[in-house]
Structure 1
Amino acid sequence: MRDCAVEILEDVQGRADPRAIAIQQVGIRAVRHPLQIQDRDGIVQPTIARCNMYVSLPAHLKGTHMSRFIEILNAHEGSFSVEGFGAVVEEMRQRLEADSARLEMRFPFFIEKTAPVSGVRSMLDYEVKLAGEITPAGYRLTMGVMVPVTSLCPCSKSISEYGAHNQRAHVWVHVRACETVWIRDIIDLIEAEASCELYGLLKRPDEKYVTEYAYDHPKFVEDLVRDVALRLQEDRRVQWFSVSSENFESIHNHSAYAMIEMEK
């Protein structure tokens, strides 16, 4: 009769390593994974994240258990939130028996917007980055949100008899906070400081409105990042932030750029 005993296979990555060099980050990158994102309004929306997952590896071990990263992702097919992100990072650290762990996710985030005059509804996409890290010093979460907006040039408005050139700008804000800062909080803040916010769908009365609104709220790229920085300075939840804007010029073949970083 054939022996059906289970063969015990060697755990090669668990071997001792004679080189005695610790590795700060080892893991997997560029994994696409479906997930549910919950924001401040409690609504859960499906998206697809591009994930990087790392842990530290002590000097005496040959390798880490790469398959466990995928197992952890698959176990979290329910909703993710900014508040619960740290629990997933801690699970990585424990499952892979590491001193430190880092999880990075980048994904599109959608908001249904209402046109300012006609009231027609449409979806607009934003880009979000979450990076959570646990080390012996503790847990730290950095959240980044990219918001596309309109920026109208004050100089063009000032020197022209009629009209003023404008551009679409990509504003990135990254924050580290002592309390939860939601994705939507950052989006609302940036859109409030732009010459005008963007919409997925506009009718003619809306187009007239946003054109004139931007004309009444001109901002250089320097104005935009400074005004956003002032708002972040005033937010008691925020401990560190960076804000940058790339304005895609309509009258030049280059972009205008500005960046501010500040620890509070």
Structure 2
Amino acid sequence: MSQINIRNKKLLPSKKERHKLFGSSDPGPRTKPIEKEQMVDLQNSKQDFLFNIDTVGISNVKHPIRIPSQLTPEIQTTIGTFTFGSSITQDSKGTNMSRFTQQLDEYHQEGFAIDLTTLKKFTKELAARLKQKDAEVEVNFPWFFERKGPASDLAGMNHADAFMKVSYHQETGHDIEVGLTATITTLCPCSKEISEYSAHNQRGNVSMSVKLTEDFNDQETDWKAALLEAAESNASARIHPVLKRPDEKMVTEQAYENPRFVEDVVRLVAADLYEYDFVESFKVTCRNEESIHLHDAIASLSYDKNDEGN
């Protein structure tokens, strides 16, 4: 005959009583207005507040976005991390934070495609909504692209971290900055030179920050693909999500034939960026995660075409 265990059930106070037990109290008297038109608007108050503010806004705003791409997949949905801002003058106490996310949601309802034409329109409208002369938006996002094995042709998805920053001022127009961090393989030239049998290699990250010319059209040229090519084509070898043995043989032999220091990488990438007509200025950084050291190797350089001849 089976035994039946009878458990004494704990008798709990009601949920309202439990909340009171842990510090909740009954609502007090309500004396302030509940209609927006009757509420005090501190942010829009005007007097001498001592200084102008360069930028005020909100950051770390995560939101779904659509990314157009000239590589497969041509349209993808990903997560963008936004920063919004504008300046305010000395006689203004603050900005209206809700207007940033209000405009973001309006664009989302229309299908927020992250391209430069859209972001230019976004910043100009945002400045008008904030009743300021300027506004800026920056969005960081992972960008995915298909990569096939060099021998097997088997495909998988790689990704790079990208950003777009568009600033608008009603007197000077738009400034556009974009960037990409791509992952590469590098093989040490010194190790190849001194070793009898092999050479150590490492995984590296190439980060590029680029100011685009005012007339750049991202409907014609995909800046993401262009920056990716500048990084990968100057590495020892490209990174692949799927590698069969014939692929691995080709990739490792290619790396051995193209040894690169971090100094080599930033100079070679810079040369490609310099030759892009749509690039006005740039900064390139390479960081290698050394395979036989505990430290990383780093190099960076900056160049502004506007300084030439000065």
Tell me, what secondary structure is at the counterpart of 2:247?
A: helix
Partner amino acid for 2:188?
C
Cα gap change, 1:185/1:165 in structure 2, threshold over 3 Å: closer, same or farther? same
Quote the offset at 1:6 in angstroms.
5.9
Rounded to whole Å, the distance in 2 between the matches of 1:7 and 1:152 is 64
Rounded to whole Å, the distance in 1 between the matches of 2:244 and 2:226 is 27
> Which of 179, 186, 194 matches 2:227?
186
Structure number with higher strand proportion: 1
Rounded to whole Å, the distance in 2 between the matches of 1:175 and 1:37 is 19
TM-score normalised per structure 2? 0.80
> Which of 185, 188, 194 matches 1:150?
185
In the TM superposition, structure 1's runs of 4+ consecutive aligned residues that sit over 6 Å from their partners are none
2:241 aligned with 1:200: yes
Rounded to whole Å, the distance in 1 between the matches of 2:75 and 2:125 is 22
**Root-mean-square deviation (CA), in Å?**
1.7
Unaligned runs of 5+ in 1: none
Cα gap change, 1:207/1:21 in structure 2, threshold over 3 Å: closer, same or farther? same
Quote the offset at 1:80 in angstroms.
1.5
Match of 1:76 in 2: 107
> Which of 79, 87, 92 matches 1:56?
87
Relative contact order higher in (CA < 8 Å, ≥ 6 apart): 1
Q: Which has the larger radius of gyration?
A: 2
On the 8 A contact 1:26/1:54 being kept in 2, the answer is: yes
Rounded to whole Å, the distance in 1 between the matches of 2:194 and 2:264 is 18
Rounded to whole Å, the distance in 2 between the matches of 1:124 and 1:48 is 16
Match of 2:74 in 1: 43
2:57 aligned with 1:27: yes
Partner amino acid for 2:75?
V
Unaligned runs of 5+ in 2: 1-33, 306-310
2:163 aligned with 1:129: yes
2:164 aligned with 1:105: no
Quote the offset at 1:7 in angstroms.
6.4
Tell me, what secondary structure is at the counterpart of 2:37?
A: coil
Query: 1:180-216, CA deviations, whole angstroms, 9 ceiling, x for partnerless residues?
Result: 4521111112111110010112112211111111011
Residues matched between the structures, number: 260
TM-score normalised per structure 1? 0.93
